[in-house]
Amino acid sequence: MIRGVTKILSTGASTRGKARPGFTLVELLVVIAIIAVLIGLLVPAVQKVRAAAARVSCQNNMKQLGLAVHNRASVLGGIVTGQNIKGRIAYWGALILPEIEQGTVAAMYDYTKSFSDPANRAAAQVQIKTYLCPAVPKADRTSAIPGPTQAAVSDYSGVYGVSTLMWTAAPATLTSPYPGPDGARGVFIMTLNLRTKFTQITDGTSNTLLFVEMAGRPDKYNGRTYSGTTVPAYSAWVADNAANLSGWTTDGTARGRCMVNCSNNVSAYSFHDGGANVCMCDGSVRFLSDSIAAETFAALCTMAGGEVVNLD
């Protein structure tokens, strides 16, 4: 009798052992392969979400800059590149600090001294989030300014207009008639302390550029490749951060008809796929395709060129 019980118990133990089989090597490899495929599908999706978020954040920065310039223009009587304060010039990046919730930096900045004066060194070196596009791979960047010292940069540039070399250099890049220096100028004025009134923007505030992305400076990018050099123009937010915009060949090495994302050397440039953000004079933010026609882009740069532009 005891031997029978022992046999039954032994048989039951054997049955329980078969009810809990482990993973075979093949099954384990299949599970690992499935997980790898899922990760492979997830990573590009996460990257796209991050890129979209960076683009929206960049658009919000430009929107804030547009509103800040409008608010400051209501005080100063127009859009100014720089204002003469007690014999010293303060440029637009410093003038709008209170408007972009940077009162602390504004309190550090001595508006009666030059932007390159040692008294303004601490303020000039502050990295201001509103001036930086999060899509740029390198966040903390500085640009050399007279002094000598280094100052934090801006990924956004004001627009003086379109470079006259686009018409006058041989061979001419633009096929449209040369409008002359006045016809080629934009809303920011190279002669400091002068103002552009909104009534002077006869091409329409919704058809005239106020700011463009000129991202990545002071590092110079030719096409989508870092050149290993720096751009020659000022890119510090405290400095004369505005430009006569130009077009380039697709590799960014020579003047050409590519107006967006071919060089960040006095040209519209971003790290977004397909185009770049711009702020219009009415404060709206648009995304310009990197395939935009050169003549269309040039027309957007000018404030009184008389061109008819349709971006819709």
For the stretch 117-132, pLDDT in tens is: 999 999 999 999 999 9
What pLDDT is recorded for position 21? 61
Q: Alpha-carbon distance 262 to 249, whole Å? A: 7
Residues in the chain: 312
Q: Alpha-carbon distance 99 to 70, whole Å? A: 10
Residue 67: phi and psi, rounded to 5, are -65, -40
What pLDDT is recorded for position 20? 53
Contacts 24+ apart (CB under 8 A), 309-312: 309/203, 309/207, 311/207, 311/286
Closest CA to 210 of 54, 73, 55: 73
Q: Alpha-carbon distance 266 to 256, whole Å? A: 13
What pLDDT is recorded for position 207? 95
> Residue 112, Cα to own-chain centre: how many angstroms?
30
For the stretch 53-100, pLDDT in tens is: 999 999 999 999 999 999 999 998 999 999 888 888 899 999 999 999
What pLDDT is recorded for position 22? 66
- Return the amino acid letter for 68: A
What pLDDT is recorded for position 312? 65
- Global pTM reads 0.85
Q: Are 108 and 122 in contact (CB under 8 A)?
A: yes
Percent of the chain exceeding pLDDT 90 equals 70
Q: Are 115 and 126 in contact (CB under 8 A)?
A: no
Spell out the per-residue pLDDT of the chain, length 312, in tens: 444 444 444 444 444 555 556 668 777 777 788 888 877 777 676 677 788 899 999 999 999 999 999 999 999 899 999 988 888 889 999 999 999 999 999 999 999 999 999 999 999 999 999 999 999 999 889 999 987 789 999 999 999 999 999 999 878 899 989 999 889 999 999 887 889 999 999 999 999 999 999 999 999 999 999 999 999 888 999 999 999 999 999 999 999 999 999 999 999 999 999 999 999 999 999 999 999 999 999 999 999 988 878 776
Report helix, strand or coil for 48: helix
Residue 141: phi and psi, rounded to 5, are -125, 145
For the stretch 213-239, pLDDT in tens is: 999 999 999 999 999 999 988 899 999
